[in-house]
């Protein structure tokens, strides 16, 4: 993954490289063109000057010959030779490469030549003017070096600007991101984003704000819905239970009817249990158990086991305690009671006849294990209603509540199945 700003940066750099590379021949062409034009003009002026000087000087024939023979020495770079043409050819300009006579150690130089005809004393002479021009490769090299230098400057500038822009412009984005990362729907706290003067980010923030507010409100509605639904169910359940209580008071009730009433009571208490647990879950999620105190786990486990003795005895379950160590945790008492209750009640309800339960507390780890038949589905174990089956009286919420409480206090809960025993391990 690459950063967002790196992508245009790469493209910009490549584009700049291509453009600058293309500019090298263009520059060269333009400069060479100007160069040659300029030299042609210069050569023409020289020619005019020479022609004028000759015409104005009115040099005698003999003198002219000696002058022309020494011309090369007087005016280097120009040659005048007698032409045998009767009519002058039009002027021509061209470029030649040849050895430079005046500079040593120089292999080949480029010359711009003007070949023209002038008439001196009525005779036609061929005049050639040569001027040194910079060579092609030298020009190209110079332009390329300069261009590369500018390219390097450009890239360095890009990098520096990029860094600054990344830091400044993306700051609001980073802030938004941080807020989103720390956002937790269950805490019910909405997020407010800082104002930014960048339109896109402001738009993003607004959209996020809307999304989050909506989510929070839906989440809240759902939670209050569960809470309200549970409350609303409570009264009809109470009436139902009350009617059954009254029904059994009836003296004329037959044994059969009594059986039926009794079998109605079981699902009713199950519904009422589910209802209570849903309400409890909603309350835990709503953080309604905020107050904390320091509680001795050992004592609480012992007390709960005491309360459960009757049920354990009815199933002929042996309870083993390894609770010599003392452990104190700071949390809400009701929640810890519920956690221990649920684990121990499960250990009895899902136990076999003549089975065992072991409560083992060592260090900051409480292990509750009980004899069982088969391993439970560990992936779904702590989900709501996942473990509920018709054969047990479970509300299907007991372990979900345990998990919720553990989450709240960052306690770890693990389930293992070893030697035909279910082990629930809570690390405080």
Partner 1 sequence: MKILIVEDEKELAQDIVNYLSGQNYLCEVAENYNQASEKILIYQYDCILLDLMLPDGNGLALLEELKKENKQDGVIIISAKNSTEDKVKGLQIGADDYLAKPFHHSELSARIHSIIRRKQFNSSNIIQLNEITIDLLGKTVKVNDVQILLTKKEIDLLLFFIGNKNRVISKSALAEHLSGDIADMFDNHDFVYAHVKNLKKKLTEAGYDNYIKTIYGTGYKWEI
Shortest Cβ distance from residue 408 to partner 1 (Å)?
16
Q: Mark 361-400 with x for binding to partner 1 (rule: CB under 8 A) and - for no binding.
A: --------------------------------x-x--x--
Residue 427 to residue 365: CA distance in whole angstroms? 4
Counting residues that bind partner 1 (by CB under 8 A) gives: 45
SS3 string, 149-200, reads HHHHHHHHHHHHHHHHHHHHHCHHHHHHHHHHHHCCHHHCCCCCCCCCCCHH
Identify the helix (H) or strand (E) that includes residue 228.
helix 199-247
Using CB under 8 A as the binding rule, whether residue 229 contacts partner 1 is answered as no
Query: What phi, psi does 319 have (nearest 5°)?
Result: -105, 120
Q: Of 20-28, 130-138, 240-248, 321-329, which part binds partner 1 (CB under 8 A)? A: 240-248
308 belongs to the binding site for partner 1 (CB under 8 A):
yes
- Cα 92 to chain centroid distance, Å, stands at 68
259 binds partner 1 (CB under 8 A): yes
Among 4, 185, 207, 238, binds partner 1 (CB under 8 A): 238
In angstroms, rounded to a whole number, what is the distance separating the alpha carbons of residues 123 and 228? 124
- Can you tell me which of 2, 86, 92, 255 binds partner 1, judged by CB under 8 A? 255
- Between residue 117 and residue 136, which ones bind partner 1 under the rule CB under 8 A? none
User: What is the torsional sign of CA 23, 25, 26, 28?
Assistant: positive
Q: What angle do CA 181, 182, 184 make, to 5 degrees?
A: 105
Q: Which of 307, 322, 375, 420 binds partner 1 (CB under 8 A)?
A: 307
Q: In angstroms, give the least distance from the CB of 302 to partner 1.
A: 14
Per CB under 8 A, does 330 bind partner 1?
Answer: no
Does the protein bind partner 1 through residue 310 (CB under 8 A)? yes
100 binds partner 1 (CB under 8 A): no
Separation between Cα atoms, residue 402 and residue 124, nearest integer Å: 119
The residue with tokens 């997020």 is: 191
Q: For partner 1, which is the closer residue by CB, 263 or 294? A: 263
With CB under 8 A as the contact rule, the residue among 334, 388, 407, 427 that binds partner 1 is 334
C-alpha distances (whole Å) from 230 to each of 172, 233, 264, 384, 405 are 44, 5, 20, 16, 20
Give residues in contact with partner 1 (CB under 8 A): 231, 234-235, 237-243, 245-246, 248-249, 255, 258-259, 261-262, 265-266, 269-270, 272-273, 276, 279, 283, 288, 304, 307-308, 310-311, 313-314, 334, 341-342, 345, 348-349, 393, 395, 398
């Amino acid at each position: 993954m690459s950063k967002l700003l790196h992508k245009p940066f790469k493209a910009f750099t490549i584009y700049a490289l291509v453009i600058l590379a293309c500019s090298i021949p263009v520059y060269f062409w333009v400069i060479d063109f100007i160069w040659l034009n300029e030299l042609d003009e210069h050569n023409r002026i020289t020619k005019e000057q020479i022609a004028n000087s000759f015409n104005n000087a009115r040099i005698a024939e003999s003198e002219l010959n000696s002058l022309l023979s020494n011309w090369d020495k007087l005016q280097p770079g120009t040659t005048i030779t007698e032409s045998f043409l009767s009519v002058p050819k039009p002027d021509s300009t061209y470029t030649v490469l040849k050895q430079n006579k005046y500079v040593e150690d120089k292999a080949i130089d480029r010359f711009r030549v003007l070949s023209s005809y002038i008439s001196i004393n009525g005779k036609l002479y061929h005049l050639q003017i040569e001027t040194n021009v910079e060579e092609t490769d030298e020009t190209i090299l110079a332009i390329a070096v300069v261009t590369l230098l500018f390219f390097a400057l450009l890239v360095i500038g890009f990098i520096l600007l990029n860094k600054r822009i990344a830091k400044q412009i993306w700051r609001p984005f980073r802030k938004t991101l941080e807020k989103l990362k720390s956002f937790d729907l269950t805490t019910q706290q909405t997020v407010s984003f800082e104002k930014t003067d960048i339109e896109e980010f402001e738009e993003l923030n607004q959209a996020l704000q809307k999304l989050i507010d909506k989510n929070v409100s839906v989440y809240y509605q759902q939670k209050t819905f569960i809470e309200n639904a549970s409350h609303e169910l409570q009264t009809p359940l109470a009436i139902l239970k009350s009617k059954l209580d009254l029904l059994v008071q009836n003296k004329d009730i037959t044994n059969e009817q009594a059986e039926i009433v009794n079998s109605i009571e079981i699902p009713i208490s199950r519904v009422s249990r589910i209802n209570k647990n849903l309400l409890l879950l909603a309350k835990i999620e709503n953080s309604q158990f905020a107050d904390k105190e320091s509680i001795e786990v050992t004592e609480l486990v012992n007390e709960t086991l005491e309360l459960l003795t009757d049920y354990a005895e009815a199933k002929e379950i042996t309870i083993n305690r390894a609770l010599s160590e003392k452990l104190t945790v700071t949390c809400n008492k009701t929640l810890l009671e519920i956690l221990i209750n649920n684990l121990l009640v499960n250990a009895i309800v899902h136990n076999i006849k003549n089975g065992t339960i072991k409560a083992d507390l060592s260090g900051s780890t409480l292990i509750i294990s009980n004899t069982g038949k088969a391993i439970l589905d560990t992936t779904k174990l702590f989900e709501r209603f996942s473990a509920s089956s018709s054969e047990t009286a479970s509300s299907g919420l007991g372990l979900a509540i345990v998990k919720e409480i553990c989450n709240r206090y960052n306690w770890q809960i693990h389930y293992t199945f070893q030697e035909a025993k279910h082990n629930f391990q809570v690390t405080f």
